[in-house]
Structure 1
Amino acid sequence: MKIAIVGPAFPYKGGGAHHTTELAHRLDAAGHEVAIESWRAQYPSFLYPGQQTISEPEGEPFPGTRRRLDWRRPDGWWRTGRDLRSYDLVVQAVLSPVQVPAYLGILAGLRGRTRAVALCHNVLPHERKPYDVPLMRALLRKVDGVLVHSEQQAELARGLTSRPVAVAEMPAHLPAPGEKGAEGGAGRRDRLLFFGMIRPYKGLDVLLRALAAGPEGVSLTVAGEFWGGVDETRALVKELGLSERVDLRPGYVPASEVPRLFGEADALVLPYRTATASQNVWMAYEYGVPVIATRVGGFAEQVRDGVDGLICEPDDAGSLTDALKRFYAPGEPERLRSGVRPVDHTPLWETYVDVLVTPSSVSSS
């Protein structure tokens, strides 16, 4: 089958680019002819205030990658669709409703001659704008089918379209693995890690309040880009008297620095208010690190409570405080670390690819 994936790829960074690239490699390995249609310019800077691109790839770039799409050039959207009419399947990786006008332009260029699937990482954003629902409704009613990563997301999609909606668990699409950190191995570190893009729905403020009320002597590293700036977080750290215990490292974290961050931590903490799933769970397990997460999205399925991590309630500093105290009971960090196992995602990827390429799964045709 001849397949085009429309979505971000290197030099763009982050989970979306990782997923697009890994999906292309997996489809290629399954015997399909694959191309990636990526972006020359994906978002205006005021819509994405963080660092959009990187100079060193975080994995193996896919050789069949074209970078023709530009948010400033609607004429290029239609031309891309016209050029993809010879393909059997066009997969549009939807990371934000901001992409929808370009994707509608591509669909207009296709003129219905090629099966098109919207692969939605999130059907609607965690922090919504008034235009999100109408944009996503317009897109999902134009494609032939929709692929999402959980039943909860499927329900959202079915509320926006009558097109077929398929569900497939999202396999890991991690950066190229590095060596274990210099501080890796057994033993307690008295340090937690919050890692990745920092946005309000991820609950860093809840974690800081729980840390202030939790076990004494435990520190926290916060590493990642702050959506909207770091000043508010700095003020909260000072207000809670945590200045000596919280290490804020704002900015994009290169893949080369990730092993050391995880190697210095007893646990990765995901105090999200809402979620679908997070690749950070699988990343922590790759480095042998337990996870403390809230009961949202797929975390309760990813984290085995009491085996390789702990589950607590979302947006509840008291529940998270209790989890931190349970985690730091004598011998618990070591016991939970011993339960961590990297996950073999090959079977998940095989299922994912099968669902995506099977017309009856994600198409009305």
Structure 2
Amino acid sequence: MRIAIVGPAFPYKGGGARHTTELAHRLAAAGHDVVIESWRAQYPGFLYPGQQTISEPEGEPFPGTRRRLDWRRPDGWWRAGRALRSRDLVVLVVLSTVQVPAYLGILAGIRRKTRVVALCHNVLPHERKPYDEPLMRRLLRKVDGVLVHTEAQAEVARGITGRPVRVAQMAPHLPAERAPSEGDGSQGGAKVHRRLLFFGLIRPYKGVDVLLRALAEGPDDVSLTVAGEYWGDCLDDLRELARSLDLESRVELRSGYVPAADVPGLFASADAVVLPYRMATASQNVLMAYEHGLPVIATDVGGFAAQVRVGVDGLLCPPDDVAALAAALRRFYEPGEPERFRSGVRPVDDGPLWAAYIDALTGAVREPS
């Protein structure tokens, strides 16, 4: 099949770009003729105030990548769609409703001969604006199929489109760097660091404020590193909260995008990854933690329950519940428990996950609409 994926790729950073690139590699390995139609300018700076691009790729770039899309050039959107008419399948990678006007322009250029799937990382944003649902409704009614990563997201999609909606667990698309194996001693073996890690883009819906309050009620000798880009006023707000909770000596707020080469050392200094999200769809952070040998303490939202084996390689608690999260932290640090949880962690076998993912993606346009 001749497939085009429209979405971010290197030099854009983060999970969206990695997923787009890994998907292209996997489709090509399965025998498909694949190109990526990517961006030379994806968003205006005021819509994404963080670092958008990086100088070193986080994995192997896909050779068939074209960078012609530009948010400042609507005329180029239609031309890009026209150039994709020869493809059997076009996959629109939807990360934000900001992309929808460009995708509508591309669809106008494609017309209806080529089959189109919207691959939605989020059907609607976690922090919504009044225009989000109308934009997404318009897009999803124009495609031939929709792929999402959780049943909850499928329900949202089915509420705004009658097109076929399929669900596939998000397959791993981790940075190229890996943590050293535990056997070489560089991670300290079974050493307990009394330190937890939150990793990724810090936004209000991810509940880091809940984690700080739980840390203040949990074991008083445990520290926390919060590493990633801080959205809006999050950094100032969390600094003030840490100060008010008398946690300044126990909490490191590391601001800025973490390059892939720095990730192994960051994970090696922690006992567990904590994901205190108020809401979620799908996340790579559980799989990333397991790849680096760390258990996970997460809230029971999104796809976390399907990834965490409670009592074996992690713990779950209700979202937005300080007392429940504090109790989970105390349970995790009971004598011998950090070592036991770590011994239960296994790297993810990504082959079957990717096979199922590709089958769901290509099958999303074979169903009657």
Whether TM-score is above 0.5 comes out as: yes
C-alpha separation between the residues in 1 aligned to 2:12 and 2:311? Answer: 37
Which residue of the partner structure matches residue 53 of structure 1? Answer: 53
Q: What is the DSSP-based 3-state SS (H/G/I as helix, E as strand, rest coil) of the residue aligned with 2:330?
A: helix
Which residue of the partner structure matches residue 21 of structure 1? Answer: 21
Q: AA paired with 2:36?
A: I
How has the CA–CA distance of structure 1 residues 250 and 354 changed in structure 2, closer, same or farther, with 3 Å as cutoff?
A: same
Q: Deviations over 1:280-312 (max 9, x none)?
A: 100100111000000001111101111001111
Structure 1 position 157, deviation (Å)? 0.4
TM-score by length of 1: 0.98
Which residue of the partner structure matches residue 84 of structure 2? Answer: 84
C-alpha separation between the residues in 2 aligned to 1:336 and 1:178? Answer: 20
C-alpha separation between the residues in 2 aligned to 1:23 and 1:293? Answer: 27
Structure 1 position 278, deviation (Å)? 1.1
Q: AA paired with 1:342?
A: P
C-alpha separation between the residues in 2 aligned to 1:24 and 1:140? Answer: 22
C-alpha separation between the residues in 2 aligned to 1:165 and 1:10? Answer: 28
Q: What is the DSSP-based 3-state SS (H/G/I as helix, E as strand, rest coil) of the residue aligned with 2:287?
A: helix
After superposition, residues 269-308 of structure 1 pair within 5 angstroms as 269-308=274-313
How has the CA–CA distance of structure 1 residues 43 and 147 changed in structure 2, closer, same or farther, with 3 Å as cutoff?
A: same
Residues 7 and 38, structure 2, Cα contact 8 Å, conserved in 1: yes
Query: Please, which runs of 5 or more residues in structure 2 have no aligned partner?
Result: none
The answer to whether 1:267 aligns with 2:272 is yes
Q: AA paired with 1:214?
A: G
Structure 1 position 362, deviation (Å)? 5.6
The answer to whether 1:201 aligns with 2:205 is yes
Which residue of the partner structure matches residue 360 of structure 2? Answer: 355
The answer to whether 1:164 aligns with 2:164 is yes
After superposition, residues 173-322 of structure 1 pair within 5 angstroms as 173-180=173-180, 182-229=186-233, 230-322=235-327
Which residue of the partner structure matches residue 151 of structure 2? Answer: 151
Residues 177 and 261, structure 2, Cα contact 8 Å, conserved in 1: no
Structure 1 position 345, deviation (Å)? 1.2
Structure 1 position 363, deviation (Å)? 5.9
Q: Deviations over 1:186-213 (max 9, x none)?
A: 1211000010000000000000000011
Q: What is the CA RMSD across the aligned residues, in angstroms?
A: 1.1
How has the CA–CA distance of structure 1 residues 325 and 115 changed in structure 2, closer, same or farther, with 3 Å as cutoff?
A: same
Q: What is the DSSP-based 3-state SS (H/G/I as helix, E as strand, rest coil) of the residue aligned with 2:278?
A: coil
Query: Please, which runs of 5 or more residues in structure 1 have no aligned partner?
Result: none
Structure 1 position 150, deviation (Å)? 1.1
Q: What is the DSSP-based 3-state SS (H/G/I as helix, E as strand, rest coil) of the residue aligned with 2:239?
A: helix
Structure 1 position 359, deviation (Å)? 5.5
TM-score by length of 2: 0.97
Residues 148 and 165, structure 1, Cα contact 8 Å, conserved in 2: yes
Residues 121 and 282, structure 2, Cα contact 8 Å, conserved in 1: no
C-alpha separation between the residues in 2 aligned to 1:51 and 1:178? Answer: 23
C-alpha separation between the residues in 2 aligned to 1:317 and 1:361? Answer: 46
Structure 1 position 183, deviation (Å)? 3.6
C-alpha separation between the residues in 1 aligned to 2:65 and 2:343? Answer: 41
Residues 165 and 362, structure 1, Cα contact 8 Å, conserved in 2: no
Q: AA paired with 1:201?
A: Y
Residues 355 and 362, structure 1, Cα contact 8 Å, conserved in 2: no
C-alpha separation between the residues in 2 aligned to 1:2 and 1:234? Answer: 50
C-alpha separation between the residues in 2 aligned to 1:218 and 1:206? Answer: 16
C-alpha separation between the residues in 2 aligned to 1:293 and 1:112? Answer: 43
Q: What is the DSSP-based 3-state SS (H/G/I as helix, E as strand, rest coil) of the residue aligned with 1:117?
A: strand
Structure 1 position 177, deviation (Å)? 2.9
C-alpha separation between the residues in 1 aligned to 2:350 and 2:268? Answer: 23
Which residue of the partner structure matches residue 323 of structure 1? Answer: 328
C-alpha separation between the residues in 2 aligned to 1:361 and 1:59? Answer: 31
How has the CA–CA distance of structure 1 residues 137 and 314 changed in structure 2, closer, same or farther, with 3 Å as cutoff?
A: same
Residues 356 and 362, structure 1, Cα contact 8 Å, conserved in 2: no
Residues 147 and 364, structure 2, Cα contact 8 Å, conserved in 1: no
Q: What is the DSSP-based 3-state SS (H/G/I as helix, E as strand, rest coil) of the residue aligned with 2:20?
A: helix
The percent identity for this pair of structures is 74
How has the CA–CA distance of structure 1 residues 363 and 135 changed in structure 2, closer, same or farther, with 3 Å as cutoff?
A: farther
Which residue of the partner structure matches residue 73 of structure 1? Answer: 73
Structure 1 position 360, deviation (Å)? 5.0
How has the CA–CA distance of structure 1 residues 361 and 237 changed in structure 2, closer, same or farther, with 3 Å as cutoff?
A: farther
C-alpha separation between the residues in 1 aligned to 2:270 and 2:326? Answer: 18
C-alpha separation between the residues in 2 aligned to 1:167 and 1:248? Answer: 36
C-alpha separation between the residues in 2 aligned to 1:363 and 1:115? Answer: 12
Q: AA paired with 1:275?
A: A
Q: Deviations over 1:316-354 (max 9, x none)?
A: 000000000000000000000000000101111011111
C-alpha separation between the residues in 1 aligned to 2:283 and 2:146? Answer: 20
Structure 1 position 28, deviation (Å)? 0.1
